[in-house]
Amino acid sequence: MSTGAAVAGPDGALRCPWALSTDDYVSYHDEEWGRPVHGDDALFERLSLEAFQSGLSWITILRRRPGFRAAFAGFRIEKVAAFTDTDRERLLADPGIIRNRAKIDATLANARVLADWAEGDLDELIWSHAPDRAARPVPRTLADVPAVTPESTALSKALKKRGLRFVGPTTAYALMQACGLVDDHLEACVARSAP
């Protein structure tokens, strides 16, 4: 039975156990997850993909990420904000993405809200909720990794207050993990950054 501790991969390096569940995860885990992401468009992409992931496995989203990027104009906020009803219907029929009406509508609505923000506002708002890394315990096993934190709850509330949708506390925490606001790589993981 797995203890949720770091596991040696085929190359002998210790990684978070989830990273070894499929080959597609290894490079995502090693090169992206937990690495700082800045820029409004880049953060809009991550926020949108985390919302699409809600209720699904991340691998489903990761494997369809090229399709999402093509369908949503590279997640450029200004372009997505200008999508029409015809674009919405195109998205609802696109087999390269998750064709969930509520999630598609939320992504389009979020782009329209964000298009009215000043450049850098999304980046500033999200990163203002990054906890002090030195004050956080380093996770030793998966059991030490939370699904929600006070910071993710506060980020969720701040995003909702500004008009964004599909941004609950769990989605907000997944965003924080994916974009490097927190480093939830396990203590023994090769991808863990230095404190």
Determine the Cα–Cα distance for residues 165 and 90; give it in Å rounded to an integer: 21
For residues 15 and 6, the answer to whether their CB atoms sit within 8 Å is yes
Whether 50 is catalytic is yes
Catalytic residue among 25, 33, 45, 50: 50
Whether 58 is catalytic is yes
Sort 144 into a burial class: Cβ within 10 Å, 0-12 / 13-18 / 19+: middle
Whether 31 is catalytic is no
Residue in 65, 36, 31 with CA at minimum distance from that of residue 48: 65
For residues 125 and 169, the answer to whether their CB atoms sit within 8 Å is no
Catalytic residue among 18, 28, 117, 127: 28
Q: Which residue has the tokens 């939320």?
A: 106
Catalytic residue among 18, 32, 58, 187: 58
Where in the sequence numbering do the catalytic residues fall? 28, 50, 58
